[in-house]
Structure 1
């Protein structure tokens, strides 16, 4: 699929059906292509299961009936904490069918994080996998949680009143469900941000969110539109069930379009993932930059893959893996940008000439732009500003759940400010520069950390890097790089000199790191994003501030 960007952007119109809800969409797919496999599930022990659209619809309705019998009603908050699972969609959709709001949680969280979320949104129910009940049990007495529903659970997993299993909830329930009539403007999920600063925030989305993914993410990122023959496609998004990305792709593209998708429950190991891609015939892959970087170090030519699209999200993708995968497979990884609060705001849409390091161009219909960090005026090409979206765009969230003060801060102006900085070139391509609070001002120059990090990791000695501002008496701040070395390299003074000379050639000279510190690890959020705020605090402390 090739997209004429100007034509698409000029002609795009929103037409959101009032009655749109992801549960009714899946029901429609079950009625029209019920025998089509929706989920092809694999695990790391060789297990293999499939679910058709008709089976997902039936199990969705059985679970909804069971929840209703337990007292779950419209407007309740239902948390879930389980790994990739063949029944994940049925459980999520079943909860949504009752009119409840889903509150996804990642297995990378801790008990205190579960408690925070349960208290913050006053959730009364949680669906938890039997392997993760130890994360929930310690906090039950201090939270509003009343019901614990154990996936893959047995009687041995039940630890008291209010505990049951998914199997028991669904047992003997009808495959027909007469629940509330859901619509596009009904609330759907509360997705907590991963939080590079402060406590995670409860991002509220309505069912409209999934329609926007179908209109935006599917054609302008995944390359799936009305002309796509879904019988020839197998989609694989490597995300987990607890992340907003699960709703971006497995739900927002896979289920809304009626595609078949692969779900693999196993730890990431490059050769294993490559073997799966080859054996299963994956045609469209969506992975995170770390995974692409590790793929790029494997023997890609040894795998006969059938990819026609490779998509990247989560943080900017460096040039090296793009070029390596393009050389090996003839497929150019296409970056996309968005947030928990949005759909894909900027993408390298199908058919675009990908500029390495670029996020792409704003997706049609969304209205993403770059404005000055201090006012709401657009910046000129080449200048760094903040990515922003008009507050009336359908493609952004509906506020923070029961947080009017946060809504006032973020949604009271003309634009929703993403907090992410970018620049735009003369051709309209966006380039990520860092978080708004990550920007480095040195001797009057505004320097985004990503460009420096991106250049650093192209050096053979650098495996990973994070760049922050470091206080300096004369310059105000200078660029400081924390560097994880590649195997076989030592952090010597000579190497620091070499890296600085290298960077003066790779970037504008004023951007090179005047200070370099070698480290074994970098502080990160549970979703893998670098917490530069911690590194900045460390720099402040080192300089007595």
Structure 2
């Protein structure tokens, strides 16, 4: 039986802190590598004991809950049993959650105590088509009530986990044959289950982590929910190196800085929305916390604007900022190194180790030219891509060209081989026959001191087909409080071609987002396109 990475560290460094949850109220849960191993083994053996309706090689184990040591345990337990780990975004509505649960065909659900009532309600209404066992994990949060006793009826609990054997499970040659199935954000429709079997290709994954300079003494701090592919992938990378992992149950900007300071956190993965909140904190708050230990900041989930990067390097070590471009399906595809962050504004870097990228034009031919006028759809080939969309072969085939696959992004190369993402193909605006990329406009508008963030999208026009519209979130302070739509368009006109200037502007307190932090432009567009048979872009 192949050596399990957690078991190996539990023997080599049993007393090293593996995972820590430190809540703002002073409650701290700290598991050593030996304790994480024991918990993961007990859970794995419980899963295997459930028989045909349980979890073993290739079975689906759905898990749901905020970041916690228990989540780290189930990720390890699923791997140890050869199962497929299926994270469920706990922010989904009951209807949205039911779709993912049932579509995944999972027969076991491992659920944080806080979300047990959701599963109990679905169960009691007979709406769980395949789930036969629900495991209620963790105890009550200090500031939240425990799951009602009636909700726990018929469920497995912490007592069942504690009663299971603590020895590593033995599944023979099937060890390590599991994988993940992460549902995409659903920015353009129903989420799709991106299935990936086994562990990432060690040569490709190792070369990527070496590029970041990962070390065993790094401390990884979550900066987003672990149900999202990026934070969970880099948490797994941290464990691969035997690092200490700090899990913040729910994100809070100042508390995140407290955790950086307290544990000398040195690496994380952050979406732009999260880092924008951190950098927007008043200087006197940021100055309370030491941020100098941050060594590897992986920027992605959505593109970081040039303005946000400038704010980051003013608050954190400039040499720590790496930007990546990737997706749940295709993994990490490009890397922009720290020395290029401000030298190459708008770029997401060069292809990552082991990654091949080609751009394909509207005519179906490969693009070889450089510059924005030679933009095309991004297709990727590598050994770390996903295997399939679960029960959706048509979608997989539609997005494939031989061994290359796309998620619908549009990009161009520069003459030094750096890639620039223009936008998602589905977000592109066609106005009067001109292609307009919202990301370009958003990057310009965010340079205005009165704009915290913005979402640009197309709305219908009888004359032009579509015109540019901007929904703006004002920044705190005087500049934002007095900002008008006319000022937004005037600022855009100073920096953009006329056809790219927003023809209309509205204001919102915040932008709607998916659980992974991506802006839900579909939701913003919907009122403008209501009643129309088709929507351009």
TM-score, L = length of structure 2: 0.87
| Residues 75-129 of structure 1: per-residue CA shift (max 9 Å, x gap) | 3211111221123222222133222211111221222223212221221111111
Moved more, 62-71 or 171-180: 171-180
Task: Please say if residues 231 and 269 of structure 2, whose CA atoms lie closer than 8 Å, have aligned partners that are also in contact.
Answer: no
| Structure 1 residue 411: Cα displacement | 3.3
Aligned residue in 1 for 2:143: none
Task: Please say if residues 31 and 54 of structure 1, whose CA atoms lie closer than 8 Å, have aligned partners that are also in contact.
Answer: yes
From 295, 310, 318, the counterpart of 1:331: 318
When residues 149 and 516 of structure 1 are mapped into structure 2, their CA distance, relative to the original with a 3 A threshold, is: same
Aligned residue in 1 for 2:527: 538
1:151 matched to 2:131 = no
For residue 181 of structure 1, give the secondary structure of its aligned residue in structure 2: helix
For residue 191 of structure 1, give the secondary structure of its aligned residue in structure 2: strand
For residue 418 of structure 1, give the secondary structure of its aligned residue in structure 2: coil
Aligned equivalents of 1:160, 1:41: Cα separation in 2: 24
Aligned equivalents of 1:243, 1:39: Cα separation in 2: 18
Aligned equivalents of 2:71, 2:529: Cα separation in 1: 45
Aligned equivalents of 2:251, 2:295: Cα separation in 1: 24
When residues 219 and 257 of structure 1 are mapped into structure 2, their CA distance, relative to the original with a 3 A threshold, is: same
1:445 matched to 2:445 = no
Superposition pairs of residues 16-95 of structure 1, within 5 angstroms? 24-71=4-51, 72=54, 73-95=56-78
TM-score, L = length of structure 1: 0.86
Task: Please say if residues 187 and 207 of structure 1, whose CA atoms lie closer than 8 Å, have aligned partners that are also in contact.
Answer: yes
Aligned equivalents of 1:94, 1:523: Cα separation in 2: 34
From 242, 251, 255, the counterpart of 2:227: 242
| Residues 378-421 of structure 1: per-residue CA shift (max 9 Å, x gap) | 2522232222112xx21210011233223322335342012122
For residue 200 of structure 2, give the secondary structure of its aligned residue in structure 1: helix
Aligned equivalents of 2:105, 2:268: Cα separation in 1: 36
When residues 511 and 55 of structure 1 are mapped into structure 2, their CA distance, relative to the original with a 3 A threshold, is: same
Aligned equivalents of 2:313, 2:9: Cα separation in 1: 35
Aligned residue in 1 for 2:157: 165
Moved more, 153-162 or 396-405: 153-162
Aligned residue in 1 for 2:328: 340
Task: Please say if residues 310 and 331 of structure 1, whose CA atoms lie closer than 8 Å, have aligned partners that are also in contact.
Answer: no
For residue 320 of structure 1, give the secondary structure of its aligned residue in structure 2: helix
From 213, 220, 223, the counterpart of 2:213: 223
Task: Please say if residues 80 and 175 of structure 2, whose CA atoms lie closer than 8 Å, have aligned partners that are also in contact.
Answer: no
Task: Please say if residues 29 and 258 of structure 1, whose CA atoms lie closer than 8 Å, have aligned partners that are also in contact.
Answer: yes
For residue 301 of structure 2, give the secondary structure of its aligned residue in structure 1: coil
Task: Please say if residues 59 and 175 of structure 1, whose CA atoms lie closer than 8 Å, have aligned partners that are also in contact.
Answer: no
Aligned residue in 2 for 1:3: none
| Residues 323-344 of structure 1: per-residue CA shift (max 9 Å, x gap) | 2232344325322121111221
Aligned equivalents of 1:130, 1:449: Cα separation in 2: 41
Aligned residue in 1 for 2:197: 206
Structure 2, unpaired ranges of 5+? 140-145
Aligned residue in 2 for 1:426: 415
For residue 209 of structure 1, give the secondary structure of its aligned residue in structure 2: coil
From 272, 284, 294, the counterpart of 2:255: 272
Aligned residue in 1 for 2:388: 399
Structure 1, unpaired ranges of 5+? 1-18
When residues 379 and 515 of structure 1 are mapped into structure 2, their CA distance, relative to the original with a 3 A threshold, is: farther
For residue 388 of structure 1, give the secondary structure of its aligned residue in structure 2: strand
For residue 163 of structure 1, give the secondary structure of its aligned residue in structure 2: coil
Root-mean-square deviation (Å) = 2.8
Aligned equivalents of 2:311, 2:147: Cα separation in 1: 51
